[in-house]
Amino acid sequence: MTEQLNVGIVGASGFTGAELLRLLASHPNMNVVAVTGDTQAGQPVTGLYPGLAAAYGDMTYVRYEDAPLADMDVVFAGLPHRASQEIVSQLVDEVGHVIDLSADFRLKDPGVYEKWYEVPHVVPHLIERFAYGLPELFADELAAKQHVAVPGCYPTTATLALAPLLRAGVIQSTGIIVDAASGVSGAGRAPKPNTTFCAVDEDFSAYGLLGHRHTPEIEQNLDGAAVLFTPHLAPMNRGILATCYARPASTTSTEDLLQVLAEAYVDEPFIVVDERSPSTKATLGSNSCHITARYDDRTDTVMAIAALDNLVKGASGGAIQCANIVAGLDQTIGLPLVGMGI
């Protein structure tokens, strides 16, 4: 008989929580037992997300304090940064695995966290208990840890595009530029003046200039490389496209770059390396990341491009992939490989 794991979701009323519910509805080994959402406590899940009715028609949001989370096999925490620290500190010794989607346990140095997030880290001693949850590049960490810090959506995209090229010595570690555009769901469900329909529709804008909080996470993943990261808000629901630029470390070509990427990801089911330019629509609804690269001899520049669904591979799908691994399951279980296409 297939092992069944009891699952709880803290912060299930947000977009990442809803995406976890959608994906877990098709997971043969994970059974969602409790979902918390303090602002929605007492309300049915389907009142907020009618699309989940076929799988969660009888489920209701409860306050965190009232959720039966002790002894759960897996608890996903979909809370904002800082809010996750207190709750996660209560859970790490009470449940099998905490899969945290906030930024609170991603950065190895709490001083760096405090600098970029401008709040103190109140449980820095717990950081070392969390693996950084990008299996394609940090598998050894996941094998050694019980709990997981799920990467940010922008760092996932940029890291998957650039890390193999850096590790192979193909590009220099200074002067790297990452320009990335995300759909509006990346800003979360809470209403904000700059993410209303009228503000976003027919608009495209850069934000977080020179100081976006995902910068140190990208640099940490790239072994301390110097990165200029500029995020952009695109008028679409979901998806991220990252265009990354770097200087070559030696003589190279487009064919060489594609070969490095293909060899790095040859055994990774969720990575597609292709000559075609990636698009967000191609990854929509999937846990896959599409990557390509080019070398421009005119400007002596390496360009790497990656696309993914920010709510799946960039958040909830990546979280389930990590949960599968730490729970001893095949990493692909319950996760779509292909995008919706149209």
pLDDT for the residue 198: 67
**How high is the pLDDT of residue 203?**
79
Give the three-state DSSP class for 75: strand
Tokens 């940010």, residue located: 152
Placement of tokens 């002894």 in the chain: 71
**Widest CA span in the chain:** 62
Residue 289, number of CB atoms within 10 A of its CB? 29
List of domains in the chain: 5-151+313-326 (3.40.50.720), 153-309 (3.30.360.10)
- pLDDT (0 to 100) of residue 1: 41
The CA distance from 138 to 222, in Å, is 12
Q: Which two tokens stand for residue 307?
A: 């696309």
pLDDT value, residue 2: 58
H helix or E strand, kind and range, residue 206: strand 205-206
Distance of alpha carbon 62 from alpha carbon 103, whole angstroms: 24
| Residues in CB range of 194: below 8 A, 6 or more apart | 187, 200, 233
Task: Calculate the alpha carbon distances from 65 to 45, 145, 264 in Å.
Answer: 18, 27, 44
User: What is the model's pLDDT at position 330?
Assistant: 96
Nearest CA-CA partner of 133 in 271, 325, 339: 325
Q: Is residue 169 a contact partner of residue 192, using CB atoms and an 8 Å limit?
A: no
Query: If the chain, 342 residues long, is cut into consecutive pieces of 10 residues, what is the mean pLDDT of each piece?
Result: 85 93 97 93 92 94 93 94 91 96 96 94 96 96 95 97 98 97 79 73 85 95 96 92 97 97 98 97 97 98 98 97 96 95 71
Q: Which residues are the active-site residues?
A: 153
The answer to whether residues 270 and 198 touch, using CB atoms and an 8 Å cutoff, is: no
Phi first, then psi, for residue 156 (nearest 5°) are -60, -50
> Can you give the pLDDT at residue 185?
77
Predicted pLDDT at 244: 98
Q: Are 77 and 20 in contact (CB under 8 A)?
A: no
SS3 label, residue 198: helix
Residue 279, pLDDT score: 96
